[in-house]
Amino acid sequence: MARYPAVACFAMGRPVFALALAAAGATLLAGAPAGARGVSPPAHLAAGGSSSGGPALTLLSQSPWVGPGQSMQLRLGLGGAPASAASITFTLFSHLTSRSAFAETAGGTAVGNSLGSSTVQASTLAPDPQGGVDVTVPVESGDAAAAGTGAFTANLDCAAGSCGGVYPLRVQLSVAGGTRTSLITYLVYANPPADTQRLRLALVMPLSLPLGGPGRAVPQVQDTALDTLDNLDEAMSAHSAAPLTLYPEPASVAALAASSHPKAKSALAGLQSLSGQPGRQVLTGPYVPVDPDALSAAGLEGELVQQVRRGGQALAPLRGGGRTWVVPGPITASSVSAVESLGYDRLALPVSDVVQGGGPSLTITQPFTLSAGRGVTATAAEMDGELASDMAAGTGGTTFLAAYRMLADLALVYYEQPNALSPRGVLVLPSAGALPAAGFVDTVLAALGTDPLVAPVTVDQLFTDVPTAPSTRRLASASSSSSLPAKQIRDGRARLMAFSTAVDAAAAPVVRSLDDLLLSSENSQLRAAQQQQAVAAFTGALSGELHTVSIRADTIKLTSTAAKVPITITKQSAYGVTAVLRISGDKVVFPAGAAQDPGPVCRSPSVRSSAGRSTFSCVAAIGHATNAVYVDMRARATGDFRLVVTLTSPSGGLVLATTHVTVHSMSTSLVAVGLSLAALLVLLVWWGRTWWRRHPPGRGAHVRRRQPSQVA
């Protein structure tokens, strides 16, 4: 596996080894469609902090939380600014009381009262081997006095037992010449009771490859994406004790399995190893992201079944399973019923899919019963959009700042209802195209291993550990519409099914590849034009397979009335083909099927005549490059005429090959010969009689003439 540089982070005052991705800005879903990209990170995070044009101040690591008598450790990058010419100002603000206030601080705006501020020269701080500086911040609270000394003492100004919370900490870098940059991170103070119910966190990691090819519908096996996948795998594998849910896209896993690229094989092996670790769950779903409502509106309900079937096949090596369906967008009651019929009785929903109540704006931290209307209900959990935004920010130079921001956000959710008697939990799924860097994942998982406020769980554990809320919530109204090329998909499915009946087991990879192309065209993240291009790619691929079988268009000469005529079928594919061969014409007669002996290629020959047209058919097993079928026939006339020859799938509905064979008949029948001889005889008799009449024999030619004297 690829290695990436290591930096130190600090948990509860103790150094913890953390991994960081050198090219932290790379995301595995860089090729996702524009319309499917995730939430953009806040402006100050996108740049690493607010700036007036000076060197960028970055957070390299920090203590995820501190307890009584502990100090917060920070490691800061100065963006190349010399420490001798730089100063750093620390300002601590009062603890946050709402997530909306937290979002303001994430946007770079300080919220609340200032609890203290101090400026130190960067040159007085301990230099860091990575090129930054290390900062120690002693923390003084009502629970314990500050221990030791540091650049700045954080006085929480709280009474004993009431100090727990999330405190914004603004760090500002000033460089000689007047330039300044700043960032806001968080001091999380944790002193919960030993028996506290920690907040359950079901972190779902989607894994997929960028899309490309016709319509940008096919996962692309590329070096950059494979390196990113390898780094993420290493980061997750390094923390095998932390429960985690994987949500790999089946189409991407299938692409890895089909690729001969060494890195693809390594990535697939890594995923298989990762999925086999204790505490890891792999969610299955459709082969590509689909909208069940769009499929239903297009009359393609059967395609949802095909999507789930193929998705399960692709993820079988990763031990995929589970009862939870991840809903990427709007959903209706009919779709809830459809996915339930496929075995998914739990839903992971975006917040927008549920009607929000008018009560206190606390985070939803329990699964609930969803009423979808028309008597349809399901158990559901909301996917936390704000935490997903935290993850979306975990790229580039903001990798670690975003990671600690997410940990602080989770702590704030805990402190909304601290020390609750009943377990609570949240579910987080990054938006498509917004998967964070490996350094982000490593930092978060490392901290969760000993977090006193948050406990990682799998999705299944979230639904079983956290009790379902007693109240029922309603599904938000959503309209069903579809831009899918329904007719093309429906026709494509029928042709593919017919093709599958015509080929043997050796063609299974070909059939699967064609099926994958058709399923990929249904991706809900594609635009309508892209879906049409993807269907066209499937049609072209199927036509290419059909062109491997052909019937030779020969000219056949008949020199007698009846003859055994050869029909030649050629095959270029490596798999065998079974098809129905039909030969028909209106100037030939085929003897009855029992009298036919077409050879080993054909079986079950039969003959049918209708409306003056005779048709021979048989089931042809085409297993060689050249295959000959011998058909007995009798010409009804002399001269040139054509026979129509077709190969169709056994189930019908798909023509594999068709051509015309020209027959040149030079034969003469005995009847015709007899009639011709009789006509000739009649003609000869007529000629003879005519000649006889015109040339009668001379009468009395040999009689002696009478003498005149003998006449009276």
What pLDDT, on the 0 to 100 scale, is given for residue 672? 55
Given a cut of 60, is residue 694 above it in pLDDT? Answer: yes
Considering 76-90, 345-359, 453-467, the range whose residues carry the highest mean pLDDT is 453-467
User: Could you tell me which CATH class the domain 549-665 is placed in?
Assistant: mainly beta
- The predicted-structure confidence for 522-539, as pLDDT tens digits, reads as follows 999 999 999 999 999 999
Query: Between these two residues, 662 and 516, which has the higher pLDDT value?
Result: 516
7-193+397-416 is classed in which CATH architecture?
A: Sandwich (2.60)
* Better pLDDT: 42 or 375: 375
Helix (H, G, I), strand (E, B) or coil at 172: strand
Mean pLDDT value across the chain: 86
Q: Compare 6 and 76 and report the one with higher pLDDT.
A: 76
Instruction: Give CA–CA dist 74/59, Å, rounded.
Output: 8
What are the start-end ranges of the E strands in 228-367? 244-248, 280-282, 324-326, 346-350
Contact in structure between 517 and 538 (CB atoms under 8 Å): yes
Distance, in Å, from the CA atom of 465 to the CA atom of 456, rounded to the nearest integer, reads 12
pLDDT higher than threshold 90 for residue 110: no
Q: Where are the alpha helices (H) located in 454-525, listed in sequence order? A: 459-465, 486-500, 508-520
| Predicted confidence (pLDDT) at residue 602 exceeds the cutoff of 50 | yes
Half-sphere exposure of 431 (CA within 13 A, CB side): 26
pLDDT for 637 beyond 70? yes
Q: Which residues pair with 655 in a beta bridge?
A: 648
* Residues 406-448: tens digit of each pLDDT: 999 999 999 999 988 899 999 999 876 677 889 999 999 999 9
- Average pLDDT for 344-354: 93
pLDDT in tens, 26-65: 333 333 333 332 333 333 333 345 545 567 899 999 999 9
Query: Residue 697 — very low, low, confident or very high, per pLDDT cuts 50/70/90?
Result: low
Cα–Cα distances in Å, from 367 out to 185, 246, 342, 430? 31, 20, 21, 19
* Residue 555 pLDDT grade (very low, low, confident, very high; cuts 50, 70, 90): confident
CA dist list (Å): 304 to 299, 321, 334, 603:
11, 17, 13, 38
User: 96-110, 182-196, 346-360, 645-659: which has the minimum mean pLDDT?
Assistant: 346-360
Residue 385 has pLDDT above 80, yes or no: yes
Round to the nearest angstrom and report the end-to-end CA distance of the chain. 152
DSSP output for 558-612: E-SSEEEEEEEEEE-SSS-EEEEEEEEESSEEPPPGGG----TTEEEEEEEEETT
Distances (CA, A) of 471 to 197, 332, 344, 370, 379: 22, 20, 21, 9, 12
pLDDT tens digits for 487-522?
Answer: 999 999 999 999 999 999 999 999 999 999 999 999
Q: What is the pLDDT of residue 711?
A: 42
Q: Please state, for a pLDDT cut of 90, what percent of the chain lies above it.
A: 65
In this prediction, residue 395 has a pLDDT band, given cuts at 50, 70 and 90, of: confident
| H or E element at residue 180 | strand 179-189
Min mean pLDDT across 324-338, 467-481, 541-555, 645-659 is at 467-481
What pLDDT sits at residue 220?
Answer: 94
Question: For residues 29 and 94, which has the higher predicted lDDT (pLDDT)?
Answer: 94
Q: How far apart are CA 593 and CA 585, in angstroms?
A: 16
Helix (H) or strand (E) segment spanning residue 615: strand 613-622
Q: Residue 6's pLDDT is what?
A: 35
Asked if the model's pLDDT at residue 274 lies above 80, the reply is yes
Look-up of token digits 């004297």 = 709
The answer to whether residue 209 scores a pLDDT higher than 70 is: yes
Task: Give φ, ψ of 352 to 5 degrees.
Answer: -65, -15
Q: Which residue has the higher pLDDT, 115 or 54?
A: 115
Distance of CA 282 to the CA centre of its chain: 15
Sign of CA dihedral 621, 627, 633, 639: positive
Averaged pLDDT, 95-123: 93
